[in-house]
Amino acid sequence: MNLETLKRRYLEYLEIERGRSHKTLENYDRYLSTFFSFSGVSEPSEINDEVVRSYRLWLNRRPSGVMFEGRNETLKKKTQNYYLIALRSFLKYLIRCGIRSLPPERIELAKTSDRSLDLISAEELERLLSSPDGEDLMSLRDKAILELLFSTGLRVSELCSLSRDIDTNVDELSVRGKGDKVRVVFLSEGAKKALKSYLKKRFDVGDSLFIQLSKNNETGSDNRLTPRSVERIVQKHAKKAGITKKVTPHVIRHSFATDLLRNGADLRSVQALLGHSHISTTQIYTHVTDTHLKEVHKKFHKKRAEEEK
- The CATH number for 162's domain is 1.10.443.10
In a domain, 227, yes or no: yes
- Whole-number pLDDT of residue 69: 45
Both 64 and 190 in one domain: the answer is no
Count: domains in the chain: 2
22 is catalytic: no
In angstroms, rounded to a whole number, what is the distance separating the alpha carbons of residues 110 and 83?
Answer: 11
Both 88 and 141 in one domain: the answer is no
The catalytic position among 56, 192, 253, 254 is 253
Both 38 and 128 in one domain: the answer is no
pLDDT above 80: residue 289: no
- Residue after which a domain boundary falls, among 55, 80, 106: 106
Average pLDDT, integer, range 174-196: 91
31 is catalytic: no
301 is catalytic: no
221-276 residue pLDDT tens: 568 999 999 999 999 999 999 999 899 999 999 999 999 988 888 899 999 999 99
76 is catalytic: no
Average pLDDT, integer, range 201-210: 91
The catalytic position among 92, 183, 224, 250 is 250
In a domain, 297, yes or no: no
The more confident residue out of 300 and 79 is 79
The catalytic position among 77, 164, 178, 201 is 178
- Residue after which a domain boundary falls, among 82, 106, 130: 106
The catalytic position among 155, 192, 237, 254 is 155
In a domain, 113, yes or no: no
104-158 residue pLDDT tens: 999 998 887 656 667 889 999 999 999 999 999 999 999 999 999 999 999 999 9
Both 130 and 98 in one domain: the answer is no
9 is catalytic: no
In a domain, 51, yes or no: yes
Q: Which long-range contacts (CB under 8 A, 24 or more apart) does 160-164 make?
A: 160/210, 160/224, 160/225, 160/226, 160/227, 160/230, 162/208, 162/209, 162/210, 163/207, 163/208, 163/209, 164/199, 164/202, 164/206, 164/207, 164/208, 164/209
Both 213 and 282 in one domain: the answer is yes
Would you place residue 67 in the very low, low, confident or very high pLDDT band (cuts 50, 70, 90)? Answer: very low
Would you place residue 303 in the very low, low, confident or very high pLDDT band (cuts 50, 70, 90)? Answer: low
Both 25 and 136 in one domain: the answer is no
237 is catalytic: no
Q: Which domain holds residue 267?
A: 122-291
Q: What is the pTM of this model?
A: 0.67
Both 127 and 262 in one domain: the answer is yes
- Whole-number pLDDT of residue 286: 76
Both 274 and 150 in one domain: the answer is yes
